[in-house]
Structure 1
Amino acid sequence: MTPLIIDTDPGIDDAFAIALAAGSPEVDLLAVTTVFGNVALSHTTRNALRLLELCGRSDVPVAAGAERPLVHPVPHRASEVHGGDGLSGAADTLPPATHEVGGRHAVTLMADLLRQAVEPVTIAPIGPMTNVALLLALHPELKPKIGRIVAMGGGVRGGNTTAAAEFNVWSDPEAAHRVLSEEDVPTVLVPLDLTHRCAVDAAWLARLAAGGRIAQGLHALTPSYVATYRRMLGEDGMVLHDAVALAEAISPGILRTTACAVEVDCSHGPGRGATIVDLRHHLPTTRRRVDVALDADTTAIGEFVLSRILG
């Protein structure tokens, strides 16, 4: 099994990502760490605890991390998409948590788990990359313990929060720059361009609603998210951004990647938070590259996610 740490800001697509990992025997879910993002840190942390309870994984430790970006305050959250509590206003439909966050900060917990690890650990940041940037900055000696970073974020051809920037990267461009452009840890970036192509439809949602306790619990969280994507897609359905990244973390190679140099715009102009993905193949080999997921069997991704949630 691959040891896995999920760093997250639940968030409805994050909820599906957590459930996917919890239902996948290929990974050993070591911890869930939380970060500000879709909603404030207090909400993302509570949501993570209750989602693990829904999935029967109250054994997984949870630690709260950064409540703001590294440098500049974030202008707004994504409550218009995810609801004021991050889960369509339905967080209280989840079972109450039977465990609490420990006394360690998210970065401390990740560092402790890496020190103890006997196999390379996959870290999956599926919210703003603040906690992971802090981990790499504070504990560079632990980088050899990280097998891969599999991050959801960015867009090759534009964004969803601004014309240029995707939400996770826009929320903390300086952190994303550290993770994607400055470090040498093997990294996979799963951008909007692919996650939108992996959107699930009304039939998928109906199968989810007809499933067991976990599937029905997740389905209850989707109304505001589906309403948002109905306006975007023109039909009932939704985009499982973070679950697509977790599919790659769980099953390496399920997404088809291309090694690219990636820069993050940290300016304060209209391009702030943009990920500039250089698709040219003749670049000097000295430039740092990350594996950008540009293609996949999109139908198979939806089936993979649903099969693990339905059990």
Structure 2
Amino acid sequence: MTRRAVVLDCDTGTDDAVAIMLAALHPGLDLLGVTSVWGNVTVEHTTDNALRVLDHVGRHDVPVLRGADRPLGQAPDAAARARRLPPHLPLPPSSRAPAGDAVEWLVETLRATTRPVTLVATGPLTNVALAVAAAPTVVGAVAEVVLMGGGHARSNVTPSAERNVWWDAPAAQRVLQAGFERLVMVTLDATDQARATADDTARWRALGTPAGTATATLVEERLVQYGGPAPLHDPLTVAYLLDPEVVTLRHAHVAVETAGALTYGRTVIDLERVDGRPPNAHVALEVDVDRYFGLLSAAFG
């Protein structure tokens, strides 16, 4: 089996952690490194959380690089809409330290690679935008960008916007305009359909593995946070790499609103190709939930 080289860029909270475990444990993926970014919590804590997750599943060999601690732009009313989440995941602390700067490592890794790299981003796109700005030619080393962000009919931080894009709308727009050969945007429309229940957590805990137990614990936290069935947004990006049929894609032009007072951070997805601009993204709007959760169970078992 040819293993796909993957870099995961994330603001490690509960569902990012499940994405890290899936990427770290599946034999079809070669996880080169995890780059942290501010978002769910501060970058100090997202970095620490990523280290905790990797160490918990025995992947001490995967480096974690500390990334951006603030956006390129500033979303309106950011402080008022900041998430109130526990800074640490309920996993043992790591004895490791970050291996360096995320943006520098991304540039160096992509410049040096002799094989195509897939870049998966599940938080604000600040690191990716900074790497492209620092070395535009690295775009050519990326076989595919898969990001969790944006929405067509769904939003979650304002009536118009999804959180990851809203947190750094200028960065998201730069990434969409960067000219990557293939960009897949896994939207809130798709991920919000994939809601885990207590039955799912019981099934993952019954696997009796470190990843199964950790996933159950993390998703149980999400059930409390959501007051019921809770979406697993971020792992769907990695699941797509392993089984592209888990989502349904539409090819469309996507732009990000960076100026509108009411629509800041909205992803404008031209599904009907009304304005004639060429498509720049493959957009996931639907998910096969049984296939998705079955993939998690198989990988963590």
Question: TM class, shorter-chain normalised?
Answer: over 0.9
- After superposition, where does 1:70-219 map in structure 2 within 5 Å? 70-72=72-74, 75-76=78-79, 79-80=83-84, 83-85=85-87, 91=89, 93-102=90-99, 104-211=100-207, 212-219=209-216
Q: Does 1:49 align with 2:51?
A: yes
1:182 to partner: Cα distance: 4.6
Q: Does 1:249 align with 2:235?
A: no
Match in the other structure for 2:292: 301
Tell me if structure 2 keeps the 8 A contact 1:181–1:261.
no
1:255 to partner: Cα distance: 2.0
SS at match of 2:234: helix
Q: Deviations over 1:175-226 (max 9, x none)?
A: 0011124534410000000001122222111112223222222322344421
1:30 to partner: Cα distance: 0.1
Tell me if structure 2 keeps the 8 A contact 1:154–1:165.
yes
Tell me if structure 2 keeps the 8 A contact 1:158–1:274.
no
Q: Percent identity?
A: 36
How far, CA to CA, are the matches of 2:184 and 2:191 in structure 1?
14
Structure 2 residue ranges without an equivalent (≥5)? none
User: In 2 relative to 1, CA 27–64 (structure 1 residues): closer, same or farther, beyond 3 Å?
Assistant: same
Q: Deviations over 1:101-121 (max 9, x none)?
A: 12x310111112112222110
Structure 1 residue ranges without an equivalent (≥5)? 231-235
Q: Deviations over 1:95-143 (max 9, x none)?
A: 22132112x3101111121122221100001000000011111111111
Q: CA RMSD in A?
A: 1.8
Match in the other structure for 1:262: 254
How far, CA to CA, are the matches of 2:214 and 2:6 in structure 1?
23
1:78 to partner: Cα distance: 5.0
Q: Which runs of 4+ in 1 moved over 4 A?
A: none
How far, CA to CA, are the matches of 2:55 and 2:82 in structure 1?
24
1:295 to partner: Cα distance: 2.5
- Of 212-221 and 198-207, deviating more is 212-221
How far, CA to CA, are the matches of 1:59 and 1:32 in structure 2?
11
Q: Deviations over 1:249-300 (max 9, x none)?
A: 333443221111011010151211111100114653x534200012232210
